[in-house]
Amino acid sequence: MAESSSILVIHHEPDRYFELLCSRFPSLHFYSARNDQEVQKCMTEVKPQILLSFRCDGVSTKAQTMAVKEACVAWVQGGGAGYDHIGDLDRIACPVSNCAGVLSKFQAETVIGAMLNLNFGFFRYQQQQQEKIYRKLPWQSLEGKKLLLIGLGHIGKAVAVNARHFGMHVTAVRSRLQDSPVADVVHTPDKLPELLPDADFVSLHLPYSEATHHFFDAMMLEAMKDSAYLINTARGNIVDEKALIAALREKIIAGAYLDVFSEEPLPATSPLWQLENVLITPHYCDAVEDWRERFAGFFADNLQRWLDGKVLHNLIKT
């Protein structure tokens, strides 16, 4: 790549990336696009060779998918592990990499925190606190509880490590049968009907695609035991949200922790807000305070590899 190449950062808050990137690569030209109009303008006038593309507020999926298909683009670095905001990889002509693994341990920290909260009942005590009720609630330890991980990528593995520290039994489901040092046992998805009724917690760690749209449906929810909890920090549309709301209302499952939703921001009209057995966070569970700098550092290392003609880290499409 020529030293005069230009890089476009697509994010509604790009400023915190620029200090690191500009200081490390003073000969390169960095631009930013905070909304659809700025994306269109940059792609027309700047014609950047590299995109650092984030799924973010202010920039639509339509604008992102348009940008990555432009002929001038020679490489797309996705911000985060997910890539559904840039569309079908098969329709992108250039290499694509992501930031999988950069924030995995922080998301895993949140997941284990949610399990502790749900299991001990901190949220129920908070409800009692608002009503000035001094009542002891029964609880069981996470030790010996059974965690079913659906997806065993960077995040799933980190969750498994955390869970085993608490003495949980970890069963993982992945597309290919392969032993894992972090899980007690690994199965393929066809075994889910047998595994779901035995799990105390089910945590989803799948990428979103057409194949995983509403993957976790009413039948899977009904297969869970009524004392079990569902955790979704992956993508909202992996779960059939209407079926989930019904399952929570009817106490088919005990509760859920949700960081992602079928529509984001979660509308004020969503019934999820009113359910007492749900913990809600705003798609931010892995966003440790310095996440921007961590992503910028990963991208900078990959950009140096690009300049040096080396194979990029985290290639998801060559």
Taking only the tens place, the pLDDT of each residue in 34-59 is 999 999 999 999 999 999 999 988 99
* Model pTM score: 0.90
**Known catalytic residue: 143?**
no
Active-site hit among 205, 235, 241, 292:
235
* Mean pLDDT of the 84-92 span: 93
Lowest mean per-residue pLDDT among 12-26, 214-228, 237-251, 268-282: 12-26
Q: Which of 283, 289, 293, 294 is catalytic?
A: 283
Which pLDDT score is estimated for 1? Answer: 44
Instruction: Kindly report the CATH class assigned to 104-280.
Output: alpha beta
Residue 179: what pLDDT? 85
Question: What whole-number distance in Å separates Cα of residue 33 and Cα of residue 18?
Answer: 12
- At 123, list the tokens: 């949220």
Q: What is the DSSP string of 161-219?
A: HHHHHTT-EEEEE-SS----TTSSEEE-GGGHHHHGGG-SEEEE----SGGGTT-B-HH
124 catalytic? Reply is: no
* C-beta separation of 304 from 112 below 8 A: no
Average pLDDT over every residue of 130-138:
96
| pLDDT for 3 beyond 60 | no
Question: Catalytic: which of 264, 276, 292, 305?
Answer: 264
Residues forming a β-bridge with 96? 76, 317
Does pLDDT of 178 surpass 90? no
Quote the pLDDT of residue 111. 98
Banded pLDDT at 134 (limits 50, 70, 90) = very high
- Would you kindly state where each structural domain of the chain is located, as residue ranges? 6-102+289-317, 104-280
Give the tokens for residue 231.
Answer: 């955790």
54 DSSP β-pair partners: 79
Pairing assessment for the beta strands 96-97 and 315-317 based on DSSP bridges: antiparallel
pLDDT of res. 2: 42
Amino acid 4: pLDDT:
54
What lies within 8 Å, CB to CB, of 109 at 6+ separation is: 162
CATH topology of domain 6-102+289-317: Rossmann fold (3.40.50)
Using CA of residue 254, residue 257, residue 262, residue 268, what is the dihedral sign?
positive
Q: Tell me the average pLDDT of the chain.
A: 95
* Catalytic (active site) residue 235: yes
Domains 6-102+289-317 and 104-280 share a fold: yes
